[in-house]
Amino acid sequence: MDARRLRDTLTKERTIPFTQKATSVLHSLSHGDKVIFWMLAGLMGLGAIFALGELRDQIVEVVPAHGGSLTEGVVGSPRFVNPLLALSDTDRDLVELTFAGLMGVDKEGNLIPELAESYTLSEDGLTYTFIIKESATFHDGEPVTAEDVAFTVSKLQDPLIKSPKIANWLGVQTEVLDIRSVSFTLTEPYAPFLENATLGIIPKHIWKDVPSEEFPFSQFVVEPIGAGPYKVTNVQRNNSGILKEYNLRAFDEYALGKPYINNISLKFYGNESSLQKALARGEIESAHSLIPENLPKDLKVVTGPYLRVFGVFLNQNENEVLSSIVVRKALSTSLDRQKIIDTVLSGYGTPLTSPLPGIPATTVENPIEEAIDVLERNGWEFSVENRVWEKKNDSIRITLRTSNIPELAQTAQIIKQSFEAIGVPTNLELYDTGELSQGVIRPRNYQGLLFGMVLGRVPDLYAFWHSSQRNDPGLNVALYANVDADDALEHLRETHDAEEREEHLEEFLDEVDADIPAIFTHAPQMTYLIPQNLNGVSLPPLTTASDRFSNVHTWYRETEKVWPFLVRD
SS (H, E, C) 336-372: CHHHHHHHHCCCCEEECCCCCCCCCCCCCCCHHHHHH
How many CB atoms neighbour CB 141 within 10 A? 7
Distance CA 33, CA 24 (A): 14
- At 204, the pLDDT band (50, 70, 90 cuts) reads very high
Cβ contact 484:378 at 8 Å = no
- The CATH code of domain 69-269+547-566 reads 3.40.190.10
Mean pLDDT computed over every residue of the chain: 91
For range 466-482, the mean pLDDT? 95
Read off the pLDDT of residues 303-345 as tens digits, 9 standing for 90 and up.
999 999 999 999 999 999 999 999 999 999 999 999 999 999 9
Give me the mean pLDDT over the 97-103 stretch: 98
- Amino acid 500 reads E
The residues facing 391 across adjacent strands are: 394
The span from the CA of 484 to the CA of 369, in Å, is 33
Residues 6+ apart with CB under 8 A from 270: 75
d(CA 9, CA 32): 32
The residues pairing with 300 across neighbouring beta strands, listed in sequence order, are 530
Three-class DSSP category at 271: coil
Q: Are strands 263-269 and 69-75 parallel, antiparallel or unpaired?
A: parallel
Summarize pLDDT for 118-145 with one digit per residue, the tens. 999 999 999 999 999 999 999 999 999 9
Q: List, for residues 387-426, the tens digit of each pLDDT value.
A: 999 999 999 999 999 999 999 999 999 999 999 999 999 9
Largest Cα–Cα distance of the chain, in whole Å?
A: 138
Closest CA relative to residue 198, chosen from 103, 98, 129, 108 = 103
Residues 258-314 pLDDT 10s: 999 999 999 999 999 999 999 999 999 999 999 887 777 789 999 999 999 999 999
d(CA 564, CA 17): 40
pLDDT of residue 243: 94
CATH code 3.30.70.141 for 308-525: no
Q: How confident is the model at residue 563 (pLDDT cuts 50, 70, 90)?
A: low
- CA separation for the pair 245, 93 (Å, rounded): 13
Question: Which DSSP letter does residue 201 get?
Answer: P
Assess whether pLDDT exceeds 70 at residue 37.
Answer: no
pLDDT category of residue 565 using cuts at 50, 70 and 90: low
pLDDT of residue 359: 87
Distances (CA, A) of 322 to 77, 113, 373, 446: 43, 47, 18, 12
Structure confidence at residue 459 (pLDDT): 81
Closest to 509 in 3D by CA, of 485, 490, 492, 486: 485
pLDDT band at 462; cut points 50, 70, 90: very high
DSSP letter (8 states) at residue 487: H
